[in-house]
Amino acid sequence: MSDSRLRLALQKSGRLSEGAFDLLAKCGLTISRAKDNLYGRARELPIDVLLVRDDDIPGLVDDGVCDLGIVGENVFEEHRLSSAAAPNGPASAVMKLGFARCRLMLAAPKAWAGDDVAAYEGKRIATSYPALTKAFLDSVGVSASIAEMSGSVEIAPKLRIAEAICDIVSTGATLEAHGLKPTQTVFTSEAILVRRPGEFAPEQAAAFNSLMVRVNGVIASRDAKYVMLNAPRSAVDAIIELLPGADSPTILELAGRPDVVAIHAVCGEQVFWSTLEKLKALGATAILVAPIEKMMP
């Protein structure tokens, strides 16, 4: 194993893969995949990609088999709570990546009255996340038994494996189809970048630093917009106040229009239609909202 390249573990296929590959592509990395589809290599930075099941990622990074990984916080935190201490210390979360957002939720048969967490007292709960579930139940003073299942948790009540479940929910349609209702959020998750314990070798550290600059740039530019508009001079302060996450906009004179200025600003947050309507109400005209492809502070 070369220690001059960084080894990055990604989910081979599933709900994290598309977001992870998309992020790498936006970072300017083209990954050529080996025929067996277990391994890939970035052309532009010394980064090798290992394609594995998401559940294996925290362990591979704890053990230093991989230097970095992209995994759901739910899987990472479940692993952290449930596994024995790694010899060199555990992997650590570097940053949130803003995709694969989901929630781990307690869900009960619709026939249960109300949504109170106390209803789970003494019940049996099926889940793939026993440690996260138990930590939540402990925090609210509810004691319940846990039936660990590796998948298809939502069928557990019908099969009488358990009375309720604790599972990943995004739209709630799966729960609905199984006669269940979500009641409490146990854990909120998104994809994160994790790194192994210990120092990186110099070439690895250099590759890691460039990757970090690029990932930060991609994330910062994801919601960012370049906003241009014309505004009556008298409304400039009120208009700048409305621009979300914009610091020090540029104010330009317009030729032959002493009462009107052009305002250009980078907005760090989403610009909604409702914001544009408010800008218009303050007298703004010729409003343009343009995407930003790359940003580097």
Residues of this chain that interact with ligand ATP (CB under 6 A) are: 11, 14-16, 53-55, 72, 74-75, 100-102, 168, 170, 189
**Which of ligand ATP, Zn ion, none binds 56 (CB below 5-8 Å, type-dependent)?**
none
Query: Which tokens hold the place of 14?
Result: 């599933």
Contacts of residues 181-184 at CB distance under 8 Å and 24 or more positions apart, as own/partner, are 181/107, 181/108, 181/109, 181/110, 181/112, 181/115, 182/105, 182/106, 182/107, 183/105, 183/106, 183/107, 183/108, 183/115, 183/116, 183/117, 183/119, 184/105, 184/106, 184/115, 184/117, 184/136, 184/140
Find the shortest distance in angstroms from Cβ 225 to ligand ATP: 25
Residue 108 and residue 1: Cα distance in Å, rounded?
Answer: 48
Looking at beta carbons only, is 43 or 53 nearer to ligand ATP? 53
Residue 52 and residue 78: Cα distance in Å, rounded?
Answer: 18
Looking at beta carbons only, is 139 or 150 nearer to ligand ATP? 150
Residue 281 and residue 295: Cα distance in Å, rounded?
Answer: 31
Find the shortest distance in angstroms from Cβ 288 to ligand ATP: 33
Find the shortest distance in angstroms from Cβ 267 to Zn ion: 37
Find the shortest distance in angstroms from Cβ 80 to ligand ATP: 14
78 touching Zn ion, by CB under 5 A: no
Number of residues that bind Zn ion (CB under 5 A): 2
**Which of ligand ATP, Zn ion, none binds 100 (CB below 5-8 Å, type-dependent)?**
ligand ATP
Residues 40-69 within binding reach of Zn ion (CB under 5 A): 54-55
List contacts with Zn ion (CB under 5 A). Answer: 54-55
